[in-house]
């Protein structure tokens, strides 16, 4: 499951309330909307494979204790400058914070079926006092309806799409020239073998529409151009 805002479940510890609430709309009309859900700051714990324990801080989260596990929106983290690589086909999946201060952080994400996740635990007060704190979302109000992602300008789109089309045409032309050379080699071979027959009046041009009617016209054009 995904959400357009971090949804804090029972693996989080409440740190503070904001003075704001929101209504949570379900993904299906079969469920009723939940109203006046508090917007809060929460903490959850993460332990790296090296044994180091971290407290991960999420501001502007929706507080829903009915969920066993929290739901995260990668773009809310990216909006705060966090590097989120959650594409399983593009190398190791990670969440990384690069900072001038002493709160650099990186963790590896895991996957199960189509779900991307990280293993966390519910901290207690002693954990808050002894573990490093890593802030992963901004404390400024997060309103998904007002978020504006970076856009590709019309000029950039035109350049990118024209470059792609030009590349496809180049590849298509190279492929057709290779097909054309093979095509005419086959026809010439057939012609050379058949010309020794007393009844044969075949030429590669006459064989072309008989043997390869779908390719003959285009291959003939390629041969002419070459």
Instruction: Take residue 137 and report the two structure tokens written for it.
Output: 């979302």
Strand partners, 38: 21
Instruction: Take residue 38 and report the two structure tokens written for it.
Output: 């508090």
Q: Look at residue 74 in the predicted model and tell me its pLDDT.
A: 94
Instruction: Of 26-35, 91-100, 149-158, 209-218, give the range with the top mean pLDDT.
Output: 91-100
Q: What is the DSSP letter of 26?
A: -
Contact call for residues 163 and 157 (beta carbons, < 8 A): no
At 92-121, the pLDDT tens digits run 999 999 987 778 999 999 999 999 999 999
3-state helix, strand, coil in the chain (%, to 5): 35, 25, 40
**Lowest mean pLDDT: which of 23-32, 82-91, 92-101, 152-161?**
23-32
For CA atoms 26, 31, 32, 37, give the dihedral sign: negative
Contact call for residues 121 and 44 (beta carbons, < 8 A): yes
Number of helices and strands in the chain (H, E): 5, 10
Quickly tell me which residue has 């963790």 as its tokens.
107
**Contacts by 92-99, CB closer than 8 A, 24 or more apart:** 95/136, 97/134, 97/136
At 174-224, the pLDDT tens digits run 666 666 667 667 766 666 666 555 455 555 555 555 555 544 454 445 454
Instruction: Take residue 195 and report the two structure tokens written for it.
Output: 């010309």
Instruction: Take residue 182 and report the two structure tokens written for it.
Output: 């093979």
Query: From CA 163, how far away is CA 24, in angstroms rounded?
Result: 43
Which of 67, 59, 86, 55 has the alpha carbon at shortest distance from 24? 67
């Amino acid at each position: 499951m995904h959400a357009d805002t971090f949804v804090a479940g029972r693996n989080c510890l409440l740190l503070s309330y904001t003075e704001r609430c929101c209504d949570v709309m379900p993904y299906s009309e079969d469920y009723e909307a939940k109203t006046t859900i508090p917007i809060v700051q929460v903490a959850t714990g993460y332990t790296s494979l090296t044994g180091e324990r971290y407290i991960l801080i999420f501001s502007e989260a929706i507080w829903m204790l009915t969920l066993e596990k929290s739901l995260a929106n990668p773009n809310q983290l990216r909006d705060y400058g966090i590097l989120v690589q959650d594409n399983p086909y593009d190398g190791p999946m990670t969440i990384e914070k690069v900072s001038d201060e002493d709160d650099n952080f990186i963790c590896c994400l895991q996957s199960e079926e189509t779900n991307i996740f990280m293993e966390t635990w519910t901290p207690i007060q002693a954990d808050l006092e002894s573990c490093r704190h890593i802030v992963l979302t901004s404390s400024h109000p997060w309103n998904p309806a007002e978020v504006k992602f970076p856009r590709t300008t019309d000029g950039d789109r035109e350049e990118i799409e024209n470059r792609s089309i030009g590349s496809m045409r180049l590849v298509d032309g190279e492929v057709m020239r290779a097909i054309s050379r093979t095509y005419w080699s086959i026809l010439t071979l057939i012609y050379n073998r058949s010309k020794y027959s007393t009844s044969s009046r075949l030429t590669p041009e006459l064989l072309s529409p008989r043997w390869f009617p779908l390719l003959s016209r285009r291959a003939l054009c390629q041969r002419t151009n070459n």
